[in-house]
Amino acid sequence: MLRMMPGLAAGSVPTGWLFASGKVSWDLAEALAEADPRNAQARTDLSLCVRKLGNVVRNTSPEEAIVLYRRSQALTSALLANAPANTDFRRYQALNSMGLAAPLASLKRYGEALRNLLSSREALEELRAQDREN
């Protein structure tokens, strides 16, 4: 589909298009999560969509990225409250913290950025120690 867009170099994707398409995914994931608040898969999908939108805007709109990463962290924290041993949720939370560090650093909030990076590293090292294949 992208190859058919005039003026778009092969393999390139405009950030605005990515954000708009991600926002549609987010809206759908949010609707599914709200339809059944006990559905862990729907809440997981929503958290992942929100984090991915943070990834898209972290260099161009760091303030917005921070809001998105924190929303994803809150969603993942709720999932972890019900399944604290779930390695996927723990990994997602580590990735949220890692992603959050970049926009914090770009806003010169270096202490917060470093805390997030160290938290992410610690969580990922724990996961690696538990499962060397993962």
Could you tell me if residue 86 is left (phi over 0), alpha (psi between -120 and 50 degrees) or otherwise beta? beta
As a whole number, mean pLDDT of residues 40-57 equals 90
Question: Under a CB-based contact definition with an 8 Å cutoff, are residues 42 and 86 in contact?
Answer: no
Does 3 map to a domain? no
pLDDT of 14 higher than 70: no
Which CATH number do you get for residue 56?
1.25.40.10
pLDDT at residue 23, rounded to an integer: 57
pLDDT of 41 higher than 70: yes
Question: Under a CB-based contact definition with an 8 Å cutoff, are residues 71 and 96 in contact?
Answer: no
Does 6 map to a domain? no
Q: What range does the domain containing 71 cover?
A: 14-130
Does 32 map to a domain? yes
Q: What is the pTM of this model?
A: 0.76
Map tokens 């390695």 to a residue.
Answer: 87
pLDDT at residue 20, rounded to an integer: 52
Does 9 map to a domain? no
Does 80 map to a domain? yes
Q: Total structural domains in the chain?
A: 1
Of the two residues 118 and 45, the one the predictor is more confident about is: 118
